[in-house]
């Protein structure tokens, strides 16, 4: 595996771990300058969801967290499991 691939995998694992632990301040540090979050699929026009910058994305995660009882993320298979309240 190239060093770029290793670095990307390391960052992906750190992102997933931080997201799953609800560490929003730490998560903000992992996002690049100019980060944006888009709701997909594009074919559905993002289902009316706005494009969010870093702070808007973190605020959105905090709001969504109120509706989620459990949030398990696995880096090996890139699976996300949500149990809604």
Question: Does residue 75 carry a pLDDT above 80?
Answer: no
- Greatest pairwise CA separation for the chain in angstroms: 42
Q: What is the pLDDT of residues 42-56, one digit of tens each?
A: 677 667 788 899 999
- Range from 1-15, 32-46, 53-67, 70-84 that averages highest in pLDDT: 53-67
Q: Where are the alpha helices (DSSP H) in the chain?
A: 3-20, 24-30, 54-65
Q: What is the pLDDT of residue 66?
A: 86
Global pTM reads 0.68
> What mean pLDDT, rounded, does the chain reach?
78
């Amino acid at each position: 595996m190239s060093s770029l691939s290793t670095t990307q995998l390391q960052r992906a694992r750190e992102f997933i771990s931080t997201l799953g632990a609800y560490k929003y301040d730490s998560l903000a540090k992992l996002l690049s300058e100019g980060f944006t979050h888009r709701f997909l699929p594009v074919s559905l026009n993002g289902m009316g969801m706005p494009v969010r910058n870093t702070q808007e994305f973190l605020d959105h995660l905090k709001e969504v967290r109120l509706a989620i009882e459990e949030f398990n993320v696995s880096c090996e298979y890139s699976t996300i499991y949500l149990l809604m309240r």
